[in-house]
Structure formats: structure tokens, C-alpha cells
Structure 1
């Protein structure tokens, strides 16, 4: 089993309720696609078509096919049988959550890299403080974020993307008849300044969460005795329960709702291949990472990427021997 990234390589930065919600659901979405896409063959679609309708951009057409030789990990990126999917959680037109799901098709393992939205990323022609944050690169075009994230990850190729908002999550949960959960304590929270205002009120005990309650549960952040760890565990339990529910419910109906509420350039053919390779994969086959970096303690609150730490993270993900990482390879 691949070792889990140690805590010292994580950026200790408090996540917003929206970010925590997207983190959990985007991971669930990835596994849903891997597990459920073969069923789309019954709809008679050709393998070259996208699952989610006509995407605004197709990364395979816009980004170089070959990995840049300028990357210190050129050989690893070129040789590994991996597919890297950019997952974006959009709230009010901003990329509140940015992740890369890297699927090793030979090892049947998913490495999930979270990239803070406040990561410093300079773009020529954009000099405002807010414009130098990674989340500003999106501008309703996932290609912009894909290029930026690839650069921050030392040239890691980005093959596909998927974009979703929490309104879509609500519809998907409702389509599967809700998600059974054991709520450990009464969850209450109000944020009148959120748009729309956020009101969380979920009683303690076993119940089936509908779409609205599921979003509330995923966005809830206070009250866990273990703090952030407790919230992550609760979200993982939700994810596991949601998978069991979707696999035992009307899969075509759920798939239809997912495909109507997610924007992605993944094709039927590629998703079917990924799903075939992912047979038997479980949540135990997932390792999560946070982009190594240093968060600033004052405005504009940038997270400055750590190139050396990023190289160590990529080394672990791609199972490269430590001796291949040199000081020259991690120069910014």
C-alpha cells in the first residue's frame, strides 16, 4: 500500500464550509463516474462523445499532447499509466475548490491533490492582488485553471476536467432518493450573509437526508469533538453511504441527473476505460494530499507554493525513487 502523505506536508489552512462540501462531493463524483459510466452504453452513445453534453472546451484539443520536457518529472509523467482529472467546485462563478484526481490505472489507486484557491499564481497583464490568486484564473473557462494548475504542479499533465456547483449536488442526492445517515448530534448553524442565506438544522439520529439536508450536512463545520478531522470523517461516511445508495437505486435515473448537472470533457470511451480499470476500487484506495505551501498571515492571504515540497509530493504519488529529485529539479 502506498504511504499516506505526512501532516507536515499539508498546508494547515482552515477551509470554508463551501470548500469542505465541494471536496467531499467532487471525490464522490469521480468515483461515481469510474463506477457507473459503463451503464451509459445502453443509451446508444458513441465512445467519442462526451457524457455531459457539449463542453465549452476540450483539454485534449487545447493542451499539448506530450508532457513538457521542461518538467523535472518529464519521464515519470510520460511513462506512468495515469489519468489526471481537474475537479472544480464553482460557487457564484468562482472556483472555491480546486483538486486534481490522479488515477493510476495499473495500481488501481487514486491520489487526490487539493490546491488552495488562494495559491499565488501570477498571470501577465493581471496585477491586482485578487487577480494573482489561482481562483481568479478560471473566468468561466476550465482551460485557464488547467494550465495554471499544471504549472504549479511542475508540469503535471491535466487530461480532463469536471465542474459542479452545490445546486447540482442537491438535485443528484434527490435523484437517488436521499442518503441514509446516522447524525451524531443536532447540527445547527446560521449564516445570514451567505448568498442565499445558509440555515443548517439537522436533528440527531438516523435519517435519510434529502438534497437540501445533504448539502447542509456537507457544509456543516462546527461541533465535531475532533475538529476538522471529525468533519472529514463525517463527510467520508456520507460518501460511502451515497455510493451504497446509488448502486442499489435506479442507476440510469441517477446517471441522467449527474450528467445534466456536471460540466466535463470526459468522453464515453475514456470513462468506460477508466471504469473498467477501476473495478473493485474503494475509498481505501484513495490517498489525499494538500499542495505544500506557506499561507501568509496578512492580506491578501496568499498561499505561496513550496516547489521543493511539491516535488516531494509528486515523487511519492508517482512512486519515483528519492534520488531522482535534485535541487535543480525543484528550482522555481
Structure 2
């Protein structure tokens, strides 16, 4: 009997050995990956190296990509004029970019520049003959969704990204973050406890019959109030530059608030909660890296710019016409690029 039991004991011990060894090996591999991940996300230059690295042999000295500083990355931020009302009541099928900003992050100097483009800016649209408002470039892209495997968001984003790039001298736009339903802003702002803003004057929501939504003075705006605040341009379409200024101001305020609340801890939660309404080509690793990097950015070094121009009525519509000389100077100042418009 004893002779029969000994082999069973050995087999049992072998199983236990392999199980324990497997657990230890899994822990070691997971630890190695975690260490490597932590090491990488604390070195943004390495994380974004492949994205911003360029082969200078492919470009002439005049090309914007060749002139662009290899220590910088450009991120396009946009928000669509899409919401539940327009989907269900208005029956909208095509959408426009309500907010358009390019954030230029200098990984070396730990600084950030924010450049805003008014939504009514009259520009050449990518792959379209003729001009239109820049916010319509997204809708033009949606109409070509068949070329993007039927993905309207991808198509719209690509047209917007290429149109913005052309306006700004052909700069590379490495990444984008798009809010495809602005209602998600309400939820995010409520989740972080509101945003404290010094409202300069009583403000009224024209989309709700002109009801007062924020009185003059310093206050904490909830999600609905914050979205109404950054979108408001009163009853005059020419006040869009005022809205751009409020958007930039509130972006800085939210940025500072997220820093104080430790932005890095919120990124995975926000991505998970709102991934249906937020579209981006940033990976989780890249977002986490930017979250850590953002903690080191000096807000005092955040410069804000707007494409300069004037409003004009053309064909019974109002457009924001960029000042060409100012545009060339702006691109040189912010991106270090000299260029001549091609069309």
C-alpha cells in the first residue's frame, strides 16, 4: 500500500510546484510590465518619439513638417454641436465643430500654448473645391464616410484635422481629442465638483428662451452652467471671439483644477466612463503620460492665441475672415514655421 501512495505524493508535489512556479512567473512578468510602463510614462520624450520623429530626407526646408520643433507635439481639441435634442427633435445628420483648439506641448521646456480658431473662420476645406466655415469641415468629412469604412467620426475628424493644419501652414497635428456629444461636458464638470469662474456679466441661455443661467460674480458653475457659459455668444454671431476667450480662460481654470485634484488619477476613470462620447487617437499609455506631464506644467507659461480677423457678410451669411499677414506671423510665432499659402 505504501509503495502505491508514494508516486501519488510526488505527482501532487509536482502539480503544486508548477502552480506555485506559474503564479510566481506571472507576478514577475506583471511586475516587469508595470515597472516598464511606469518608467516609460515618466519619460514623455521616449513615449512620443516615434510619433514626432521625422525623416528630414523626405522634406524640403520649406516644408512645415521639416521646420517643426521635434520636441513639441500638437493636439487638436474639438467639440461637436451634437446633442440629444438635435438628434431626436432636430433630426440632424451632419454636425459641425463647435470648439476648435490646438494645444502645442513643448516636452523640453514643460510649457503649453493654446491656439483657438473661431468656428466661423472662412477657409479652404480639405479635399473640397471652394471655401466654407471651418466648423463645416467636419460635416464635409462625414459626407465622405464611405472612404473611411463608413466611420463618420473618423471621416469628419480627418477633414477637420487636415483643414486646421492647412490653415496653420501645414503643421503636423499628431493627436486629437474630440468630444462627439457635448452633453458629456455636463457630466464631467459635475463629477469634478463644478468649475469656479468669475462671470463678467449676467448670462442668458438663448437655447432655452433667454433664461438667466449665471449671475455676474465669482461662483462655482455646475455642468449645465459651464457648458452654457463657454458656448454663449449672446444674440450676436459676431461675439464668437468673446466665446473663444471664455473657452480659453475656462480651459486654463479646469486644467488648474484637475492638477489640484491630481489629474493622473482621473484619466482612466474619465476614459472608461465617457469613451462613447470622447474620440481620440491617443493610447492609454500616451494619455497617462500626458497626465503625469501636465502636473509639471507651469500655468504661468501657458500662452493663449486666437487666429486674428474680422467678420464680413457674404452671400447672406456671416464669416470670420482671417487676416493673412497676422496668420503668417501667428504661425511663425507659435510653431516656428515660415510658409506661403498654396490656395
TM-score range, shorter chain: 0.5 to 0.7
- Give the match for residue 90 of structure 1: 80
- Give the match for residue 33 of structure 1: none
The reply on whether 1:215 has 2:205 as its aligned counterpart is no
Secondary structure at 1:330 match in 2: coil
Work out the CA distance in 1 between the residues paired with 2:304 and 2:279: 23
Secondary structure at 1:297 match in 2: strand
How far residue 82 of structure 1 moved from its aligned partner, in angstroms, is: 0.5
Per mean C-alpha deviation after superposition, the further-off stretch among 181-190 and 159-168 is 181-190
- Give the match for residue 311 of structure 1: 328
Work out the CA distance in 1 between the residues paired with 2:335 and 2:130: 35
Work out the CA distance in 1 between the residues paired with 2:177 and 2:73: 13
- Give the match for residue 4 of structure 1: none
How far residue 316 of structure 1 moved from its aligned partner, in angstroms, is: 1.2
- Give the match for residue 102 of structure 1: 104
What is the 5 A alignment of 1:1-332?
69=59, 71-77=62-68, 79-92=69-82, 93-117=95-119, 118-124=121-127, 134-139=137-142, 140-141=153-154, 142-164=157-179, 165-181=181-197, 186-192=202-208, 199-203=211-215, 207-221=219-233, 238-239=250-251, 242-243=254-255, 245-247=257-259, 254-256=266-268, 258-259=270-271, 260-261=273-274, 262-293=278-309, 295-299=311-315, 300-305=317-322, 308-319=325-336, 325=338, 329-332=339-342
After superposition, the Cα gap between the structure-2 partners of 1:239 and 1:331, relative to the gap in structure 1 and judged at 3 Å, is closer
Contact conserved, 1:84 with 1:103, CA < 8 A, in 2? yes
How far residue 269 of structure 1 moved from its aligned partner, in angstroms, is: 2.7
Render the CA deviation track for 1:280-305: whole Å, top value 9, x for unaligned: 32332222222355654323444455
Render the CA deviation track for 1:263-321: whole Å, top value 9, x for unaligned: 2111233234444444432332222222355654323444455555433222212457x
Contact conserved, 2:202 with 2:212, CA < 8 A, in 1? no
How far residue 158 of structure 1 moved from its aligned partner, in angstroms, is: 0.8
After superposition, the Cα gap between the structure-2 partners of 1:189 and 1:72, relative to the gap in structure 1 and judged at 3 Å, is same
After superposition, the Cα gap between the structure-2 partners of 1:285 and 1:175, relative to the gap in structure 1 and judged at 3 Å, is same
How far residue 251 of structure 1 moved from its aligned partner, in angstroms, is: 6.1
Work out the CA distance in 1 between the residues paired with 2:247 and 2:270: 19
The count of aligned residue pairs is 261
RMSD: 4.2
Per mean C-alpha deviation after superposition, the further-off stretch among 285-294 and 155-164 is 285-294
Contact conserved, 1:137 with 1:148, CA < 8 A, in 2? no
Contact conserved, 2:177 with 2:280, CA < 8 A, in 1? yes
User: Looking at CA atoms only, which structure, 1 or 2, has the larger radius of gyration?
Assistant: 2
- TM-score, structure 2 as length reference: 0.59
Work out the CA distance in 2 between the residues paired with 1:229 and 1:133: 18
How far residue 184 of structure 1 moved from its aligned partner, in angstroms, is: 5.8
Secondary structure at 1:106 match in 2: coil
Which blocks of at least 5 consecutive residues in structure 1 are unaligned? 1-43, 48-59
Render the CA deviation track for 1:232-291: whole Å, top value 9, x for unaligned: 776666556545554555868843553233221112332344444444323322222223
How far residue 156 of structure 1 moved from its aligned partner, in angstroms, is: 0.5
How far residue 81 of structure 1 moved from its aligned partner, in angstroms, is: 0.6
Which blocks of at least 5 consecutive residues in structure 2 are unaligned? 1-33, 38-49, 83-94, 143-152
- TM-score, structure 1 as length reference: 0.61
After superposition, the Cα gap between the structure-2 partners of 1:116 and 1:69, relative to the gap in structure 1 and judged at 3 Å, is farther
